[in-house]
Structure 1
């Protein structure tokens, strides 16, 4: 039987639709709270000005856990457009976070790589833990999208769980991703091995350094960053 293409948009949508109901709790507990810390760091790295009014995109927005941090840190954000392929993830975002912030948040259910985001329409672009679901060719497409969608002077910040190569505790970290997460799912969630796919996506991804170079080739200023010994990596920068 042929193996599925785990980067096919329909496959990715299925994974996250099925695990959407328990995604928030699972990611927080199994990362020992680091995902929440990394989201805050990703939002802070945007470094938006304190004056002016801003609107932008949360790409691969998931359950919208970046929104409270964005709105709290940058009161001058007028509008966040959340783009995600998973309707299940967004339903849970609405139930948990969206209602009190509905006046500032719009949702586009779409494969971000085929979304018709208007040229020069964003003051900022942010994405938390969405890069891993793309292969290198798709990363190139995403870099083009970011360059096209940002206005001149616009800023971006991406973060993703990564493979901390060179860290002496890397074997333990990989054991956690490849063995502990599937075990937790099997014993407590009885899922369709969807959460264990998150570990596979992360280890396949490596880190954000290649994506940073792709953004530079699109004419953007891009800085590669490591978080907690490289267990997460990110790219921050701007459009000249």
Structure 2
């Protein structure tokens, strides 16, 4: 990893990390999660509460390679725009090149630190995020909660999902061993000694789960449901902005 003096939650560190990961991210993520990441993306979209009107605009925060977009467009075929916000231009370019050329007319992109982006108030019918929460610390999660509350329209819905630390699960030691020992070994062997994907284990165990973010979102006045997925290996928060 380059520039080890930067904190792992520093936006510049995260950008450099995911720019380097971008070419191999889709394959590595799918194979090494044994397909669970795709399942959890689908569940993220399914968990979005119904909105008062058919949604027209969705923000995909920390959008990465955009693998949630097909799920969004299957559920919401009439959606007008998905605006992807991500600090890594490499990830977004990979998304459009490999996955979504046929949907480019519906995809907009903002290359920016999500927490520093100038998203208009009350402009989103939907907000989603998949596997980006772990790259934020608690103070950054608070800013995300504030951004979500300010950006959603009345009745607007959100869902965020993230790989988590399944505390209490009897197979947790094996899961943590897989994250922190097996994945780095696979990366070292097959990705020419890279150590970027090895950060997944560090980020995930530091993150814990989404329960703290759920509390932060509730404190901003949002209706919130917290869920666990596959024994706590992922957790999600979903809900909506009250209509009145």
What is the TM-score when the length of structure 2 is the normalising length?
0.95
CA distance change for structure 1 residues 129 and 215 in 2, over 3 Å: closer, same or farther?
same
Q: Distance in 2 between matches of 1:37 and 1:2?
A: 33
* Corresponding residue to 2:143 among 141, 144, 151: 141
CA RMSD in angstroms, aligned pairs only: 1.4
Q: CA shift at 1:192, angstroms? A: 3.2
CA distance change for structure 1 residues 100 and 50 in 2, over 3 Å: closer, same or farther?
farther
Q: CA shift at 1:39, angstroms? A: 0.4
CA distance change for structure 1 residues 30 and 2 in 2, over 3 Å: closer, same or farther?
closer
Q: Distance in 2 between matches of 1:43 and 1:53?
A: 13
Q: Distance in 1 between matches of 2:234 and 2:220?
A: 23
Q: Distance in 2 between matches of 1:192 and 1:85?
A: 21
Matched with 1:23 is 25
The DSSP-based 3-state class of the residue aligned with 1:155 is strand
Q: Unmatched 5+ residue regions in structure 2?
A: none
Q: Distance in 2 between matches of 1:53 and 1:220?
A: 18
The DSSP-based 3-state class of the residue aligned with 1:233 is strand
CA distance change for structure 1 residues 155 and 9 in 2, over 3 Å: closer, same or farther?
same
Q: CA shift at 1:226, angstroms? A: 0.2
What is the TM-score when the length of structure 1 is the normalising length?
0.97
Q: CA shift at 1:191, angstroms? A: 4.5
The DSSP-based 3-state class of the residue aligned with 1:102 is helix
Matched with 1:76 is 78
Matched with 1:120 is 122
Q: Unmatched 5+ residue regions in structure 1?
A: none
Give yes or no for the alignment of 1:170 onto 2:172.
Answer: yes
Q: Distance in 1 between matches of 2:79 and 2:237?
A: 21
Q: CA shift at 1:198, angstroms? A: 1.3
Bigger drift between 75-84 and 146-155 goes to 75-84
* Corresponding residue to 1:161 among 154, 160, 163: 163
Q: Distance in 2 between matches of 1:2 and 1:200?
A: 14
Q: CA shift at 1:199, angstroms? A: 1.3
- 1:1-240 → structure 2 map (5 Å cutoff): 3-49=5-51, 52-240=54-242
Query: Matched residue pairs, number?
Result: 240
* Contact 2:85 2:111 (C-alpha < 8 Å) held by counterparts: yes
